[in-house]
């Protein structure tokens, strides 16, 4: 802006601070119920997405922008702890359907009052309209960031090939 990247740098550094604090909150939510932050995120995502229909590893991977292999590893850990079930998809035997067990639901219910209070404080500075705008902006930024990562890889590969 106006020949300066000062505003851009302020935004980028603010995003780093926000994401670091949000990761701390996520880890804290997981710790309350004895899980790593990413395990908590997968568990609660299975619960929420199952309200819309069958949930597969691919559903979770796409929703969280993670690799299918990583989600498979995490769901196997949750399965071993008795927090989720995996059943063969009756329409496609190559896929499994994931669901949260009673034990998993009890953990999430125990966390809910704490989670609600913390989330209300973190996002309470936004009006409903501002929250919706932020959600839209974040979704757009995730998409453009995926394209930026692909471009960065392409440019790095091109530069590496051009070196003598």
Q: For residue range 58-73, what is the model confidence (pLDDT) as tens digits? A: 999 999 999 999 999 9
Residues 57 and 110 in one domain: yes
- Judge if 88 and 139 occupy the same domain: no
Residue with tokens 């079930």: 85
| Confidence (pLDDT) at 159 | 86
The answer on 92 and 155 residing in a single domain is no
Residue 1 lies in a domain: no
**Residues of the domain holding 153:** 126-164
* pLDDT at 91 (0 to 100): 78
> In this structure, are 121 and 147 located in the same domain?
no
164 has pLDDT over 80: no
Q: What is the CATH number of the domain that holds 88?
A: 1.10.10.10
Share of the chain above pLDDT 70, in %: 100
Q: Which residues contact 154 (CB under 8 A, 6 or more apart)?
A: none
Same domain for 89 and 139, yes or no, is: no
Q: What is the pLDDT of residue 49?
A: 97
Q: Are residues 52 and 131 in the same domain?
A: no
Q: Kindly state whether residues 147 and 111 are assigned to the same domain.
A: no
Number of folded domains in the chain? Answer: 2
Q: Are residues 80 and 143 both part of a single domain?
A: no
Please indicate, yes or no, whether residues 17 and 54 belong to a single structural domain of this protein. Answer: yes
Answer whether residue 132 shows pLDDT above 90.
yes
111 and 135 assigned to the same domain: no
pLDDT of residue 6: 93
Among all chains, which residue has been given the structure tokens 């067990």?
Answer: 101
Q: How far apart are CA 164 and CA 159, in angstroms?
A: 10
pLDDT at residue 93 is higher than 90? no
pTM value is 0.86
Is residue 36 scored above 90 in pLDDT?
Answer: yes
Do both 101 and 131 map to the same domain? no
Which residue in 43, 75, 39, 36 sits closest to 57, CA to CA?
75
């Amino acid at each position: 802006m106006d020949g300066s990247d000062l505003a851009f740098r302020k935004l980028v550094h603010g995003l780093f601070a926000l994401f670091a604090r949000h990761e701390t909150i996520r880890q804290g939510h997981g710790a309350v119920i004895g899980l790593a932050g990413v395990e908590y995120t997968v568990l609660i995502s299975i619960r929420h997405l199952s309200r819309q229909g069958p949930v597969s590893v691919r559903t979770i991977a796409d929703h969280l922008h993670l690799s299918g292999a990583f989600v498979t590893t995490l769901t196997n850990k949750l399965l071993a702890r008795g927090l989720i079930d995996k059943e063969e998809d009756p329409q496609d035997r190559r896929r499994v359907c994931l669901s949260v067990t009673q034990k998993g639901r009890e953990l999430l219910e125990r966390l809910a009052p704490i989670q609600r209070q913390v989330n209300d404080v973190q996002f309470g500075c936004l009006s409903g309209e501002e929250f919706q705008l932020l959600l839209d902006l974040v979704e757009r930024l995730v998409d453009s960031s995926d394209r930026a990562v692909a471009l960065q890889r392409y440019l790095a590969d091109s530069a590496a090939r051009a070196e003598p």
